[in-house]
Structure 1
Amino acid sequence: MTLGLDDEDRRTASRLLAEFFDRYEQSVATAPIVPQVDRDVLAGLLADPFPDKGIGVEGLFRAINEKILPNSTKVAHPRFLAYVQGPPNGVAPYAEAIAATINQNCNFWQLSPAASVIERAVVSWLAGLFGYGEASGGILTSGGSVASLHALTTALHERRPEFRAAGLQTSGPALVVYTSGEAHRCIDKAVAILGLGLDNVRHIATDSGHRMRVDALAEAVRADRAAGREPFCVVATTGTVMSGAIDPIGPIADLCEREGLWLHIDGAYGGLFVLADRVHPAFDDCRRADSIALDPHKLLFAPLEAGCLLVRDRANLARAYAFKSAYLTVEDDPLMVDYMDFGPQLSRGFKALKVWSALQAFGVDSYRGVIDQVLQLAEHLRRRVEEDPNLELMAPVTLSAVCFRIKGWTEAQHAAVRATLAEDGTALLGPARLGGRHGLRACVTNYRTTYADIDLVVDRISELASCAS
């Protein structure tokens, strides 16, 4: 018995995989965005037992093409605009296949010497985008949510050095975390996982542009100190998930320095817009943050999963996560990083290869151009909304998220529009909820999207609005 492929099967698998890549690439722009789910097929995938005798390479590809692909959402479609999720770049599938083939375990460097250096190179490049210096470091994660969880863990260990021995909240006042009322829910989830308690999260009010109000933040910190609690961490956002708002990082950093608070930036959606000259100044003060969460599987168009945590001082990561064990002893090497000391995982895949490969294959300038194009498309959508008498913006367009509504329409009516757009293949849009109002949200994070796609979406929404009035 074997789990390998013979020469003929390997040639067959290579041919079928290449054909799959080609067909998907050629059809993705015209395929339905949301599948008409065949529930019988999916129920069969769940209920049918795995075969005692395998179906072979050709049978496997037939099952993928006939059962899995038709029931999969086409997230690479140019009018998939509901979420902050772009298509994978063109070289990514090949990099993923290579990573699976060599199967490096990116924990301590002897198991993955080249992978250790590749991850270090990717992290160093990302850190440099934000002006972090030689003392900085980081680690690739599954996504921005886990990166922010690791950031709060690191901040907790920095604040309470005795945490490992004493446990949580046993050696001092209750620790308090501050974040925007528009922050991603992953911050609340991280607080809950760490046992800090949701009662110790302050959701700070936002201004008319949906940015954290620094005066309200200062007042909340003052009130908690007066009540005997211990403020310890502020989470600011460079690109809120709903409207793309960027919190005032400089003034928040000033407050954190005065008050002795860890400053974490959730840049999972918007952080990598730092590559675009037109918005780069908005990220200048990020260098003052203690940690930053990013998502290369968004604006670097890496396939899932690829997040990243950056820290201004990598020694803080090691203090939080490094443990010694005789069976994992390895010689220190200044060229290498033992990533098992920078996060909770021991077994780790070679996530960095797909990010590194695309940067090598396409070059940084290509990314700058694509990200700038994404911003231009969002601006085009903003102009189309402003010019249409049926529509109105719900928030300033800071990055690539555009929240707008049909004038006078209810939440249910907007939901019906979204359903119609999905059913007739026009686009997949998300709901917008801002300031007590409801509408539509389109987020451009796709290098395949064109001006014609944006026009098609706006024209169809305007048509639906006019027909109903």
Structure 2
Amino acid sequence: MNELLLTGDERDRAGARLLALLDSYERGLPKAEILPEPDRDVLASLLAAPMPERGVGVDALFDRWEDTILPNSTAVAHPRFLAYVLGPPNGIAPYAEAVAAALNQNCNFWQLSPAASVVERSVLEWLASVVGFPAQAKGILTGGGSLATLQALATALNDRVPDFHANGLQRASAPLVVYTSVEAHRSVDKAAAILGIGLDNVRHIATDSVHRMDVGALRAAIEEDRADGLRPWCVVATCGTVSTGSVDPLDDIADLCAAEDLWLHVDGAYGALFLLSEEMRGLMGGCARADSITLDPHKLLYASLEAGCLLVRDGAKLRDAHAFDSSYLTVAEDPLMTDYMDYGPQLSRNFKAFKVWSALQAFGVSAFREANVRTLGLARRLGEGIEATPGLTLLAPVTLTAVCFAVDGASDDDHTALLERLAAENVALLGPVVVAGRRGIRACVTNHRTSEADIDLVLEWLQSRLTGRR
């Protein structure tokens, strides 16, 4: 008997309990508490309890999950979870995750994961086609957009700094400067700090009246830094800022980067997969001109966490930045296979591509296209409702699915209290925002479960609050 395996009867029981749990969770979502008050006594007891010398068995473990873990978890799949750029997993995700866990493929070199190697390549080539990248593009699935941006800047350093692998930044040369907007995600600053660029060498460029990077200000900053003896080398543009969903003028930025010989990275973690929708191609088509781009399948493809992605236009540059020889890991090259250890910093990697590929197989691309179009429409519906409500002011155009608004005359504390009341009454979970120095409230419709009725419920609640009926 193997003490770490289940018996046949235990497997049957675990399978039945798991299916029942998933079914109960799904059926209960519409009425679930979005943000349950944590039972601190229960959580403290979890922390205080020693790991058992003897296991509790299948049924007792499921009981503990249902009694302690589920009730103290945020219901991110609730249709009115609208606080962050975080969508719920699609319906096949739990099953794909289970199969991936059973196979436990180490997606580093292809001999350890041949099918996984081909599946990841299939997903990446499809994502590259969505962006409009050429056939020589390569990529890798990551833990999220922040890691993808870190890897993108590492690739750019290796490409633009002579002998970067050997010398790093430990050389007497002009400091490198990276440019992004004041609305950019914090991962750009974090990557610059981790890679040794330094925050003093990150320029946060002002934005225009609709919160897009000001290309004139970018050009002026580059010229000033060159005149001061510094070395501009990279621009990080944003396709969907977290706060307002604005999309930087990508074509204009690409033109400037080409003229100045700068690496262009596009942070499309939030917005780039809206390229699945034909109506967004005019706004986002400049993504195809980037040297590298970040995408997040765990957002608009509704994969379960984690599933980020980095794509690099010239795939050889991604490999040059990350490939190292190891005789004990060498296997014969195969044109069908890819050794993903040569395209990122990890050696041990799980099978992230399986859940993305499985969902595309199960539902088809059109289902994701329709879901994304629906969320765009719902955000516009909410924005139009805000504009039509006396006492509410829209703080930014609804470009993607972020809807930012303020209550006229309300203080910061008033807005905080309103958010707390929305959550306490289980109406919706929205979040705070600051737009052009003004505090307000932000909803982000990146939830394929959200319906028109959910949006209308939030609007009705806000309207009733303003008229004093609540």
Q: TM-score range with shorter-chain normalisation?
A: over 0.9
Aligned residues: percent identity?
Answer: 59
1:76 aligns with 2:81: no
Distance in 2, matches of 1:276 and 1:323, equals 39
Aligned ranges 1:208-247 → 2 under 5 Å: 208-247=209-248
Contact 2:212 2:247 in 1 (8 A): yes
Number of the residue aligned with 2:295: 294
1:239-280 Cα offsets, whole Å, 9 max, x none, are 000000000000000000000000000000111111112212
Query: Aligned-pair distance for 1:165?
Result: 1.2
1:442 aligns with 2:443: yes
1:151 aligns with 2:148: no
Aligned ranges 1:268-417 → 2 under 5 Å: 268-417=269-418
1:173-201 Cα offsets, whole Å, 9 max, x none, are 10000001000001000001101100000
Number of the residue aligned with 1:49: 50
- The one-letter code sitting in structure 2 at the alignment partner of 1:144 is G
Contact 1:390 1:466 in 2 (8 A): no
Distance in 2, matches of 1:266 and 1:405, equals 27
Distance in 2, matches of 1:167 and 1:284, equals 34
Query: Aligned-pair distance for 1:134?
Result: 1.2
Contact 2:141 2:353 in 1 (8 A): yes
Contact 1:417 1:464 in 2 (8 A): no
Query: Aligned-pair distance for 1:169?
Result: 4.6
1:78-103 Cα offsets, whole Å, 9 max, x none, are 00000000110000100000000010
Contact 2:131 2:272 in 1 (8 A): no
Number of the residue aligned with 1:194: 195
Number of the residue aligned with 2:39: 38
SS at match of 1:439: strand
SS at match of 2:335: coil
Gaps of 5+ in 2: none
SS at match of 1:279: helix
Distance in 2, matches of 1:355 and 1:110, equals 22
Query: Aligned-pair distance for 1:281?
Result: 1.6
Distance in 1, matches of 2:172 and 2:285, equals 37
**TM-score, L = length of structure 1:** 0.99
- The one-letter code sitting in structure 2 at the alignment partner of 1:314 is G
- The one-letter code sitting in structure 2 at the alignment partner of 1:439 is G
Query: Aligned-pair distance for 1:146?
Result: 0.4
SS at match of 2:442: strand
- The one-letter code sitting in structure 2 at the alignment partner of 1:441 is R
Q: Please identify runs of 4+ aligned residues in structure 1 that moved more than 4 A.
A: none
Aligned ranges 1:81-230 → 2 under 5 Å: 81-230=82-231
Number of the residue aligned with 1:456: 457
- The one-letter code sitting in structure 2 at the alignment partner of 1:191 is A
- The one-letter code sitting in structure 2 at the alignment partner of 1:466 is T
Number of the residue aligned with 2:429: 428
**TM-score, L = length of structure 2:** 0.99
Query: Aligned-pair distance for 1:285?
Result: 1.5
Distance in 2, matches of 1:100 and 1:261, equals 41
SS at match of 1:212: coil
Contact 1:130 1:283 in 2 (8 A): no
1:251 aligns with 2:270: no
Query: Aligned-pair distance for 1:468?
Result: 9.2
Number of the residue aligned with 1:13: 14
1:194-218 Cα offsets, whole Å, 9 max, x none, are 0110000000000010000000000
Distance in 2, matches of 1:318 and 1:447, equals 35
Contact 2:294 2:310 in 1 (8 A): yes
- The one-letter code sitting in structure 1 at the alignment partner of 2:364 is G
Aligned ranges 1:57-76 → 2 under 5 Å: 57-76=58-77
1:97-154 Cα offsets, whole Å, 9 max, x none, are 0000010000000000000000000000000011111110100000001000000000
Distance in 1, matches of 2:246 and 2:284, equals 12
- The one-letter code sitting in structure 2 at the alignment partner of 1:344 is P
Contact 1:106 1:115 in 2 (8 A): yes
Query: Aligned-pair distance for 1:287?
Result: 1.1
- The one-letter code sitting in structure 2 at the alignment partner of 1:63 is R
Contact 1:244 1:400 in 2 (8 A): yes
Contact 2:179 2:234 in 1 (8 A): yes
Query: Aligned-pair distance for 1:170?
Result: 1.2
Query: Aligned-pair distance for 1:465?
Result: 2.5
1:434-463 Cα offsets, whole Å, 9 max, x none, are 111011100001111011111111111222
SS at match of 1:265: strand
- The one-letter code sitting in structure 2 at the alignment partner of 1:50 is M
Distance in 2, matches of 1:462 and 1:372, equals 26
Gaps of 5+ in 1: none
- The one-letter code sitting in structure 2 at the alignment partner of 1:348 is R
Query: Aligned-pair distance for 1:55?
Result: 0.4
SS at match of 1:375: helix
- The one-letter code sitting in structure 2 at the alignment partner of 1:146 is L
- The one-letter code sitting in structure 2 at the alignment partner of 1:357 is S
SS at match of 1:96: helix
Query: Aligned-pair distance for 1:171?
Result: 4.6
SS at match of 1:28: helix
Q: More deviation in 276-285 or 13-22?
A: 276-285
- The one-letter code sitting in structure 2 at the alignment partner of 1:20 is L
SS at match of 1:335: coil
SS at match of 1:425: coil
Distance in 1, matches of 2:218 and 2:469, equals 44
1:287-307 Cα offsets, whole Å, 9 max, x none, are 110000010000000000000
Distance in 1, matches of 2:392 and 2:366, equals 36
Distance in 2, matches of 1:161 and 1:73, equals 48
- The one-letter code sitting in structure 2 at the alignment partner of 1:41 is V
